[in-house]
Structure 1
């Protein structure tokens, strides 16, 4: 089932419940991405911010705050902060990955240039830090600034681990916890902190975001070999062509015989890919059942997310966040 084929879509339920807050976030984002002296900044930012993404991360911040009984307005600033951090990392990622497409549209670095993408990303990071300071909560500042560092750390780790057949599942988990899960967990955690929630609830929100983010990335990596092209702006085999060692390939390499290992060395480590290699890679993943095991791992992380969120008080929002974990893995079931 495709991500948007479900009869009930939890992210749409979230958007409906949080409609007023999300409208305020959108207004704030448009205000803060403006630049009096550099019109290219809002041009580049608007291209990505208004590209039709689900804005799941800022919705998690809003939902976490409301779930913990928050009635103020600072959660809107924190949600906008999270979206700015996310957008900045996307701009930088597309330069690093030499990407030409995101969310089915040309990337900013393709439409403008790498320099603009990097510098506008830097600007958005700066704006995010200005926003996260405004609520005056030192712990919120610590969480979001730490997450920003962990995201960058995860990207650098991915660079050093890329194309290295010695990359382990532990290293892979560190990479995706940095590049994806860190912002999910921080987005949830700051919602609880700004609401003044008990420490057990803040910890549960962190655990939910961490597990959901890991599940989200594992599903994305699965789909690259098992059925992408469903509107996420990728084609089957993109990760293979970019020589990324994701979980299905790491497990296939661990189970490989000498001939298979030579294949992975040629295609991933040395980058000498020939016609028919993607089909051969898919055959090896099927032979060793690594797509099935990757699917099972994603479902397991979804289960951890669901268990964590049940530590929060019962409410409609909690039910939607619980369903969201199942929804993320529906693409691989």
Structure 2
């Protein structure tokens, strides 16, 4: 196996786009600075430089490259996408009362909730400044709509996540909001800034949407069967936070009265005891819902790959196809 092929797809993508990614990193550093509030770059740098893959901005650069864009503004749009993502992470960790992300202490733990929320607000504001700079109303519509959809998805999750009446269609709505909206916006604006034909722009949107859904389903699955050192998260966090994710939604749909009473106590009422997580995992295994959830993730990854069919042959297209496979390889 060649060194190139043994690399993970996002690493190959990062290598192919290394100059552009370096420009994004430079613009991130420049725009996260603050003359009057030094805590802003402190908090932002903690998260931005935590070793994340920067997958979302990479998708914008990849889409622009696929469409032959040779202007400067894909850098601004990729940075916009990363700022929106970072802002949502800062807010999420406060809402979820998390103390670990990417294997490191969260900003709200190191500083405080106020700093995390306000710096997140600052990054949202910076993202809106950045998205205006290409001077494209369509780009602004796509990215501002994504920001609104993300916030809407997070609020929907507040009510849906602890309600046993939540079904798979509501779950999909939440996932499309909180995760897939930014993936699809990231790929779509790459095509739009390159002035690609509508068929290509739609294909890029569909790829990002399906990839984002698959990505989140995998994340939810890893919460019950991942390795903590690999995921950087504590196993069972979603259960402890009473989040009704897809494996549990499927188990609730198949539950008998005794099992439903267990889910009502632990998820709806939040009365959890020692051994409850282990019992929850046993119920997921009993009904095969981890396997069924894995099948859903694989199906969405296949949709992502199929969406790219209208795009011309290109090394980056191949890497995006491999990326969809890699997202689900974490659970196979």
Pair 1:75 & 2:79 matched: no
Q: TM-score, normalised by structure 2?
A: 0.98
Q: How does 1:59-98 map to 2 (within 5 A)?
A: 59-98=58-97
How large is the Cα RMSD of the aligned pairs? Answer: 0.9
Matched residue of 2:303: which SS?
A: helix
Once the two structures are superposed, residues 17-53 of structure 1 have per-residue CA deviations (whole angstroms, 9 ceiling, x without a partner) of 0000000000000000000000000000000000000
**Correspondence 1:187 to 2:186:** yes
List 4+ stretches of structure 1 deviating above 4 A: none
More moved, 149-158 vs 262-271: 262-271
1:225-250 superposed Cα distances (whole Å, 9 cap, x missing partner): 12241432212211111110000000
Once the 2 structures are TM-superposed, how far is the Cα of residue 7 of structure 1 from its aligned partner? Answer: 3.2
Over 3 Å counting, the alpha-carbon distance change for 1:243 and 1:279 in structure 2 is same
Instruction: State the Cα deviation string for residues 196-221 of structure 1 (Å, max 9, x = none).
Output: 00000000000000000000000000
Measured after TM superposition, the shift of residue 163 of structure 1 is 1.1
Conserved? CA contact 2:161–2:245, under 8 Å: no
Paired with 2:307 and 2:202, the residues of 1 have a C-alpha distance of 9
The answer as to whether partners of 2:200 and 2:310 remain within 8 angstroms in 1 is yes
CA distance, structure 1, for counterparts of residue 50 and residue 242 of structure 2: 27
SS in structure 1 at match of 2:171: helix
Give unpaired runs (5+ residues) of structure 1.
1-5
Structure 1 counterpart of 2:307: 308
| Residue in 2 that maps onto 1:114 | 113
1:47-62 to structure 2, matched below 5 A, reads 47-62=46-61
Partner of 2:201: 202
TM-score (norm 1): 0.97
Distance 1:234 1:278, change over 3 A: same
CA-to-aligned-CA distance 1:121-174 (integer Å, 9 cap, x gap): 000000000000000000000000000000000000000112111111011000
Give the unaligned 5+ runs of structure 2.
none
SS of the aligned residue for 1:231 comes to helix
SS in 2 for 1:136: coil
Describe the superposition over 1:82-138 as per-residue Cα deviations: whole angstroms up to 9, x where unpaired: 000000000000010011010001100111110111000000000000000000000
| Structure 2 CA distance for aligned equivalents of residues 213 and 81 of structure 1 | 18
Paired with 2:192 and 2:137, the residues of 1 have a C-alpha distance of: 10
